[in-house]
C-alpha cells in the first residue's frame, strides 16, 4: 500500500427512515465536491422525536479522503 496523507471533514446527515440512510445521504452530498474519499467513521447517533414517534435519524460522521500530490 502506498503512503498517503489524509484529511477529514465532519458532517451531520439526516433521514426520516434510518441511520444507514442518514450516513448515505451525508456521503452522497460530500461526493458532489470532495474527491478521493476513502473511509468514514460514525462519531454520534441521535434522533428527533415528534408526537411520541421517531421523526428523524441523525448521524455525525467523519469522512476521510486522500490529499492530492
Quote the pLDDT of residue 3: 79
What Rg value do the Cα atoms of the chain yield, rounded?
14
Render each residue's pLDDT in the chain as its tens digit; 69 residues: 577 889 999 999 999 999 999 999 999 999 999 999 999 999 999 999 999 999 999 999 999 999 987
Burial of residue 51 (CB within 10 Å: 0-12, 13-18, 19+) is: exposed
18: CB partners within 8 A, 6+ apart? 57
* pLDDT of res. 28: 98
Domain formed by 6-66, architecture:
2-Layer Sandwich (3.30)
Q: Residue ranges of the domains in the chain? A: 6-66
pLDDT of residue 17: 98
Amino acid at each position: 500500500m502506498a503512503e498517503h496523507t489524509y484529511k477529514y471533514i465532519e458532517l451531520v446527515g439526516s433521514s426520516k427512515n434510518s441511520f444507514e440512510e442518514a450516513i448515505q445521504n451525508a456521503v452522497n452530498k460530500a461526493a458532489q465536491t470532495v474527491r478521493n474519499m476513502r473511509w468514514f467513521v460514525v462519531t454520534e447517533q441521535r434522533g428527533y422525536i415528534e408526537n411520541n414517534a421517531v421523526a428523524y435519524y441523525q448521524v455525525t460522521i467523519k469522512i476521510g479522503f486522500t490529499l492530492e500530490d
